[in-house]
Structure 1
Amino acid sequence: MTDYAIGDLQGCHAEFVELLERIDFAPARDRLWLAGDLVNRGPDSLACLREVRALGNAAFTILGNHDLHLLAVARGGARLNRKDTLDDILAAPDREALLDWLQSRPLLVRQAFDAGGDTVMVHAGLLPQWSADEAAGLAGEVEARLGSERSGAFLEQMYGNEPACWQASLDGIDRLRVIVNVLTRMRFIDADGCLDFSAKEGLDSAPAGFAPWFRYPRRDDLRLVFGHWAALQGRAEGARVRAEATDTGCVWGGNLTALNLDTGERIGVSSHLRR
């Protein structure tokens, strides 16, 4: 069995199918780790959702910020943004089954590998202050809330830039919002673990006093697999932790890349889009 991590699909279904053929993926033998953002901005989000859901236990799939945005629009009263490409899902006859499946996805998966050691996949990253056990527990708090969500109230309040700093004493919606922001939106942080939400480009766009989350050391030796940050082009330069960036910007005209978690080999296909 081979485990492959793939970054943000964002509706790039044709490239996803091509990449699976390129790596000779066999669901009965191999497994995918999909780093979130299956949907949005690309041309075929509905096909991506259906394809990944059909893979069943052959794919670990976590939630990204665009996946949560879809849930917030469909079930939490949020509005579509001008650049969203979610209408096909919202109008699909199997919409509710797809949304139920998506809402049941975790925000973090973790497994030990013989070669790579303890590996954690999240969409955006982990605060250096969080151990793997603590991060899994905090992700579980949000997952439990999503699992019991029926009114749409949590989905409506889930996003916001405040509070920007993690504190263990936080409770209620503030606590859950910071956990969601760390796991699905984080790029730059300061030494105290406070997030900046303004900078979204490459490493040289860091605000004063902030650095990429992976340039802060950790006390453990986790391998951290993440997506979310297309401007990195799959390279976590200057990392002081074992960070594997997987988003190579397919939806922006880059590549869709599969990372072999056993060997470290990267296999990519070119985007069919021109931006």
Structure 2
Amino acid sequence: MAYYAVGDIQGCYDPLARLLEQVNFDTSKDTLLCVGDMVNRGDKSLKTIRLLKSLENQCVTVLGNHDIHLLSMLYGVRSPRPTDTLHKILAAPDAHEIGDWLRTRPLLVVNPERKFVLCHAGIYPWWTLEQAQTHARDVEKVFRDPNKCVKLLKRLYSNQPTRWNPDLSKVQRRRFTVNTLTRMRFCSPKGHLNFTESGYVGKSRKNRVAWFEFDNPSLDSYRVIFGHWSALGLVNTRHHLALDTGCVWGRSLTMAKLPKNPDKNIKLYEQPANL
């Protein structure tokens, strides 16, 4: 049984299908880990999400910001944006089933045996892994109830608060949790999230530090697998595996075979966006 992690697909069905063929993915025993942003901007979002949904328990995916955006449109909370490519999903006869499947996907997955953490954007450096799990589960529980899910989606879209505080209101805590796990890139040394910049220059600035450059002892024995940051590109270290290699922008889709022993090397596979 093999574990494969794949970067932001964003509706790029063909490179995904080629990768699954390249690694001889066995739907009876292998597991595909998706870092989120399964849909949008690419031209085959419906085909992509149907494929991932059809893998059932052999596909473990966390929600990305584009996936939550799709949920909001499926439940009438948001209208399509000019850059969206989700019209086929919205008009599909199985749109309701897709919505039900999406809102039951987690925000965070922790595998203590293989020592990996799966999320879309990252782990807030001032949370322990246990705290991140607690906050993620709280939002996941709300999403699993369709009525509560809609109520939260209606109050979700804001950049505030930018910093965690245990005294935040329930809605603020949940908003911060979703923003952290699905949108975070940079933080300030005082713990504020920076949503205005997405580039990456390879070194820290005073109030613009990549979240993974902060020390978090609770993650010392884990590898965090994430996406969301195409400007960052591939990062493959003992503690971090960033897999958004910009397929939807014409570059490539990257897949990683995770070793049973986390100290061993990861095997990488790539498929170009266009053949």
What interval of TM-score do these two structures reach, taking the shorter chain for normalisation?
over 0.9
Farther-moved stretch of structure 1 (201-210 vs 136-145): 201-210
Which of residues 113, 133, 136 in structure 2 aligns to 1:136?
133
Task: Give distance in 2, aligned partners of 1:206 and 1:70.
Answer: 33
Q: What is the match of residue 45 of structure 1?
A: 45
Select the residue among 119, 128, 147 that pairs with 1:122. 119
Contact preservation (8 Å) 1:76, 1:153:
no
Is this contact kept in 2: 1:31–1:58, CA < 8 A?
yes
Identity, in percent, stands at 39
The 1-side partners of 2:81 and 2:274 are apart by: 23
Q: What CA deviation, in whole Å up to 9, does each residue of 1:10-30 have, x standing for no partner? A: 000011100100111111121
Distance 2:71 2:147 in 1: 11
Q: Is the 8 A contact 2:107 2:181 kept in 1?
A: yes
Residue 96 of structure 1 corresponds to 96
**Ranges of 4+ aligned residues in structure 1 off by more than 6 Å:** none
**Matched positions, count:** 267
What is aligned with 2:228?
228
Given the two structures, how large is their TM-score scaled by the length of structure 1? 0.92
Q: Is the 8 A contact 1:225 1:244 kept in 2?
A: yes
Aligned counterparts of 1:34 and 1:194: Cα–Cα separation in 2 = 27
Q: State the one-letter code of the partner of 2:4.
A: Y
Query: How many angstroms does 1:171 deviate by?
Result: 2.3
Alpha-carbon offset, residue 192 of structure 1: 2.4
What amino acid sits opposite 2:46 in the alignment?
A: L
Q: What secondary structure is seen at the aligned counterpart in 1 of 2:60? A: strand
Deviation at 1:230?
A: 0.8
1:24-173 matches, cutoff 5 A: 24-113=24-113, 118-150=115-147, 152-173=150-171
| Distance in 2 separating the partners of 1:96 and 1:68 | 15
User: CA offsets, 1:123-151, max 9 Å, x none?
Assistant: 00001221221111110011011112326
For structure 1, which segment, 174-183 or 263-272, has the greater mean C-alpha deviation from structure 2 after superposition?
A: 263-272
d(CA) in 2 for partners of 1:142, 1:112 = 21
1:258 lines up with 2:255 in the alignment: yes
Match of 1:214 among 176, 188, 212: 212
Structure 2: how far apart are the matches of 1:118 and 1:29? Answer: 19
The answer (yes or no) to whether the contact 2:252–2:273 under 8 Å persists in 1 is yes
Tell me the CA shift for residue 207 of structure 1.
Answer: 6.2
Q: CA deviation at 1:172?
A: 1.7
Cα deviation code 1:168-189 (max 9, x no counterpart): 2212211100000000000000
Is the 8 Å Cα contact of residues 124 and 186 (structure 1) preserved in structure 2? yes
| Structure 2 Cα separation of the partners of residues 258 and 74 of structure 1 | 29
Higher mean C-alpha displacement, 202-211 vs 263-272: 202-211
Aligned equivalents of 2:231 and 2:107: distance in 1? 22
Secondary structure class of the residue paired with 1:15: helix
Scaled by the length of structure 2, what TM-score is found? Answer: 0.92
Give, in whole Å, the separation in 1 of the partners of 2:191 and 2:45.
33
Please give the alpha-carbon distance, in whole angstroms, between the structure 2 residues aligned to 1:207 and 1:157. 32
User: What residue number does 1:186 align with?
Assistant: 184
Kindly indicate whether the alpha-carbon contact (under 8 Å) linking 1:32 and 1:60 is maintained by their aligned counterparts in 2. Answer: yes
Please say if residues 188 and 206 of structure 2, whose CA atoms lie closer than 8 Å, have aligned partners that are also in contact: no
The 2-side partners of 1:130 and 1:164 are apart by 14
Counterpart of 1:61 in structure 2: which amino acid? T
What RMSD over aligned residues (CA atoms) do the two structures have, in Å?
Answer: 1.7
